Structure 1
Amino acid sequence: MRTSARRITLASALVGTLVLGAASSYAVTSGLTGTGDATRHDGDQTRQVRSEIRQGPARNVILLIGDGMGDSEITIARNYQYGAAGELPGIDALPLTGQYTTYALDPSNGLPDYVTDSAASGTGWATGTKTYNGAISVDLDGNSHATILELAKKAGLRTGNVSTAEIQDATPAVLMSHVATRGCKSPSGMDACEAQKIENGGPGSITEQTLATRPDVVLGGGARYFAETATAGEYAGMTLMDQATERGFNVVTDAAALESVQAADQDAPLLGVFAPSHLPTVWNGPLATPTGGSEPAVTCEENPAHTADIPTVEAMTTKAIDVLDDRHARKGFFLQVEGASIDKQDHAANPCAQLGENVDFDHAVRAAMDFAERDGNTLVVVSADHGHTSQIVYPGITTPGLTRTLTTADGQPMTIAYGTAAQGHSQTHTGTQVRIAGYGPGAANVVGLTDQTDLFFTMKNALGLDKKHGHGWWPWGR
């Protein structure tokens, strides 16, 4: 087991010196102008940055994770939608930024594994603990560690978890469950998780643990796992969806039903499951190919599979905030939101679907920021779990890998290259550090270079939570 060595609480005076100097420098070098509505600031931002170095507790924390959203993916989305001199209204609006490292651990020796997956990286910010790829909130020895959602719930805060993936996927799963490997999503998939099987005295699959953890709001895909039948325990012989109803969840399955949920009347936990697997992407377009870069530039199109029945990540985020903030508002809440298919479409070398998910995720960030600016006591953090492979290369060229040229908001060609796998195979993650940005009380702790595990302590300290339970802790009272 290894936890972060940098459990940081930055002194405001020190941060002020560092950040204000950086802000002044940025004001001099960023006087860009553009023809679109969204353009970068061209004045001195010192006052704005100074106002954001706020210490003290936060009532709420909203963490937004763009899966696979490295700096290159952010730049691709910005260039395409708003132009090179534009800005993403959500992601680029957070005033304090830094970078964090993302490595996992090699289970054979405990040394760094330089390229992480979403399970190990999510475990890092969810528990403050480094672990091996595939692990869901357990350490190298298989011990469970309390997650930020579980600690918030234990302290009486409201809790929520939103994803455009299956809610059993790694990033949402790390908050609500503890299993040896990320594939243990349902009763039929537990072969690699013997210790967690209910029949062996464990808590069950990721889906079963989600119901037991009982967040106030869970929204995403993954309906196919709820159709399975429990094989052991109190609910043996009952489907997991029937179990959810039996346990008092308010289940909704389409965008209209989600919209109709009235926050003031929402006493039961809200479970929204909107697709059998991951939610469809909002945009689509031609894949990158060995010759795609030299072919005529294309424009992305809406994906007809993303019908009106499927809520956007912005709609899910807005509803989650409404529900979590409406009741027991004095106690506050913790909410995680994932834009999952930035990563999944990067794997597929589908630049239009990838950047469309990034733009859509940015709308969710803007919704969170709008709430935080009104509320005044909310910490918003935006980051990624790891980098990915897409890169901007010279327009119109091909590479030894796969390419595709798009026409951007500037009316210019932009060629995207994928070079970590052959055509028809999954592109891979990269081990680069990635952006982290913050707004609100405690946001100064994202400045500089930190590690994913530090984010757990930033959020825990902001909410005033005390990690009293760690090694060997089980939320179900085992």
Structure 2
Amino acid sequence: MRPTRAGRRAGLAMALVGGLAVATTAATALGTDLTGHGDARRLDGDQTSSIKHEVKGGAARNVILLIGDGMGDSEITLARDYQYGAAGRLPGIDALPLTGQYTTYSLDRSNGRPDYVTDSAASGSGWATGTKTYNGAISVDVDGDAQRSLLEIARANGLRTGDVTTAELQDATPAVQVAHVSERGCYAPSSTTKKCPENALENGGAGSITEQLLGARADVTLGGGAASFRETAKAGQWQGKTLLDQAKARGYQVVTDAAGLAKVATADQKTPVLGLFADGNFATRWSGPLATHTGGAETPVRCTANPALPATQPKLADMTSKAISLLDDRGAKKGFFLQVEGASIDKQDHAANPCGQIGETVDLDEAVQAALDFAKKDGHTLVVVTADHGHSSQIVYPGTTTPGLTRTLVTADDQPLTVAYGTADEGGSQDHTGTQVRVAGYGPRAANVVGLTDQTDLFFTIRDALRLDADKPAPEEATVDNVNVSDGARLKGRVTVKVTTNVEPKYTYIELNQGGRWLTDNTKAPGSTQAGKRPTLVLDTRDYPDGAYQLKIDVVGHDGVTSEKVVHFTIANHR
């Protein structure tokens, strides 16, 4: 005898009572009767007016771009089904009103033609720079030429910038906004020398990803990858110092745990924030058994909290909220650009770990909620949520096995859901796929994600929404513009050496020396100054014997970069 609708409701209620160990979100799923006419509808009448309301033109003051690495439609569906049930919604990812799909293919470096399956480096370079490139490339084109990123352009245009990830900061997605190397593995000086020597500092290149990250100087940079900062620079101003020491010398506020991040009050070009919360990638939030050859037919399981998750590790949503609060300066003329990545959806998909990848999708969804909450209050912020590529995980018939790997979970519906991976064997790495992926938006110009676009279109959508001048030069390094003592001058009596710098530096050091021997400087000589664009050194040349001398002038920028000028002159009081 078939159960009546009332009976089904009673059964659902009993299932709910018997399943209290399920996350609280399961209550909604278990209490939803989908058997009636129209019970499973997601729409509530005609959407024309509501969609029209969401289509906004004009400019955006701020842009928040959130990336789910490897988050194809299958990965989104898996997370929704598991956490909220088949009829549920991801409260962040599914809440963006305007949705489309974009293509993600990369290019074959040998001939410039399509490579149908991208990696994160090529796809990220596409939206970061607007230029298609080859797999493994970090914001360089197929010829290896650097392409300016959105973050670099935004900073040049006077916007505040941020780069947040749950991966190593040197990983492909965060790296595409701050570095330009020929091979994505060039994290630190040692790997750069081996893998992309043309980018190494000692060979005249811009340096490793970590070194370029420090130079890119986003106002807020949060993630893992602390291990690379322990390497030592092989060349340049900070040769022989660790990259962490360099960061501190260049004014970065370095924080290493959630409590430290919570205490940060400001972030700007004078004191940017660098959060290093793990040696490598972040630990995942959830754990569970991997997919295996027999996993689909085994007893269904629920995901659990990862016991190895450090209490000191911040959540992605908390990092997103903190980055927004630090970047949002209502008193400033211009806004901000922030990229946020949930990185381990991809990494756990590679590992055939369904609980790991689902937990990371839920983690990203919470970050999306934080971004949307801000955008709705602000009214001038474009939020875009997308992925770099699809991945291998698929939902298959429950309780089955496949020629590949499977695992069956118990969802918020109290139903079995079997996840299959079929592109690598146990212990191998599951592959990316060449599918188009979802791109969704909210706010000014979000309509430009609707329909079928390419990941390179996103660069132009964001550039134009923020009204960025892509050719605007990067902020100048502080240098000497003029010295009132010329090379070869003859001085006598009381003299004030006056230096003019091109921009306001952190400070300027002016030293008088003879043959390399220090005599005095503008921190010691009475009446001298170090600060501002017009520092001085007050000298009474009669205190020194006649002869040849040098002025050594070091201009130190807020980024720690030092430029030097030497002026040779003669003291001639008795000639």
* Equivalent residue, structure 2, for 1:42: 44
Change (3 A) 1:39 1:224: farther
Identity %: 68
SS in 2 for 1:311: coil
Change (3 A) 1:40 1:307: farther
Does 2:295 correspond to 1:292?
yes
- Whether the aligned pair in 2 keeps the contact of 1:70 and 1:384 (CA below 8 Å) is yes
Q: Is the 8 A contact 2:30 2:412 kept in 1?
A: no
Paired residue for 2:493? none
* 3-state SS of 1:208 partner: helix
Amino acid at match of 1:330: K
Q: Are 1:440 and 2:440 matched, yes or no?
A: no
CA distance in 2, matches of 1:101, 1:265: 35
Q: What is the 5 A alignment of 1:6-25?
A: none
Deviation per residue, 1:189-223 (Å, 9 max, x gap): 01221221111111100000000010000000000
Opposite residue 157 of structure 2, the aligned amino acid is A
Structure 1 residues 185 and 327 mapped into 2: Cα distance closer, same or farther (>3 Å)? farther
> What residue in structure 2 maps to residue 464 of structure 1?
467
Distance 1:265 1:104, change over 3 A: closer
Look up the SS of the partner of 1:129 in the other structure.
coil
CA distance in 2, matches of 1:43, 1:318: 34
Taking a change above 3 Å as real, the CA distance of residues 212 and 357 of structure 1, as seen in their structure-2 partners, is same
Question: How far apart, CA to CA, are the structure 1 residues paired with 2:139 and 2:103?
Answer: 18
For residue 52 of structure 1, report the CA deviation from its aligned partner: 1.1
- The DSSP-based 3-state class of the residue aligned with 2:328 is helix
Query: What is residue 93 of structure 1 aligned with on the other side?
Result: 95
Q: Secondary structure in 1 aligned to 2:365? A: helix
Residue 432 of structure 1: CA displacement? Answer: 0.2
Checking the alignment, whether the CA contact within 8 Å between 1:266 and 1:323 is kept in structure 2 is no
Deviations 1:244-269 (A, max 9, x none): 00000000000111111124899510
Tell me the SS of whatever aligns to 1:123: helix
Secondary structure, in 3 states, of the residue corresponding to 1:237? coil
Paired residues of 2:296 and 2:398 also in contact (CA < 8 A): yes
Q: 1:374 aligns to what?
A: 377
Instruction: Give the one of 55, 61, 67 matched to 1:53.
Output: 55
How far apart are the structure 1 equivalents of 2:353 and 2:341? Answer: 19
For residue 90 of structure 2, what is the amino acid of its counterpart? L
Structure number with bigger Rg: 2
> 1:6 corresponds to which residue?
none
Per the TM alignment, residue 110 of structure 1 is displaced from its structure 2 partner at its CA by 0.6
TM-score, with structure 2 as normaliser? 0.75
1:324 to 310, 323, 327: 327
- 1:25 counterpart residue number: none
1:195 is aligned to 2:191: no
SS in 1 for 2:362: helix
The amino acid across from 1:320 in the alignment is: A
Contact 2:30–2:414 (8 Å) recurs in 1: no
Aligned to 2:137: 135
CA displacement at 1:466 relative to structure 2: 2.2
| Residue 45 (structure 1) shift | 2.8
Cα deviation for residue 34 of structure 1 reads 7.5
Contact 2:381 2:444 in 1 (8 A): yes
Structure 2, unpaired ranges of 5+: 1-27, 34-39, 478-575
Question: Structure 1 regions of 5+ residues with no counterpart?
Answer: 1-31
Could you tell me the TM-score, scaled by structure 1's length?
Answer: 0.90
- The answer as to whether partners of 2:219 and 2:268 remain within 8 angstroms in 1 is no
Alpha-carbon displacement from aligned partner over 1:408-449 (angstroms, at most 9, x marks no partner): 000000000000011110000000000000000000000000
Show the 5 A alignment for 1:48-447: 48-190=50-192, 191-263=194-266, 268-326=271-329, 329-447=332-450
* 1:67–1:338 Cα contact (<8 Å) kept: yes
Corresponding letter in the other structure for 2:228: Y
Say what the alpha-carbon RMSD is for the aligned residues. Answer: 2.0
- Whether contact under 8 Å (1:281, 1:357) holds in the other structure is yes
Q: Point out the structure with the larger strand share.
A: 2
The 3 A distance-change label for structure 1 pair 263 and 45 is farther
Secondary structure class of the residue paired with 1:388:
coil
Q: Is the 8 A contact 1:36 1:82 kept in 2?
A: no
Letter in 1 for 2:92: G
Deviation at 1:43, TM superposition (A): 3.5
Distance 2:384 2:155 in 1: 19
Whichever residue aligns with residue 179 of structure 1, its letter is: V
CA distance in 2, matches of 1:267, 1:373: 30
Q: Is the alpha carbon distance of 1:165 and 1:332 closer, same or farther for their aligned partners in structure 2, counting shifts above 3 Å?
A: same
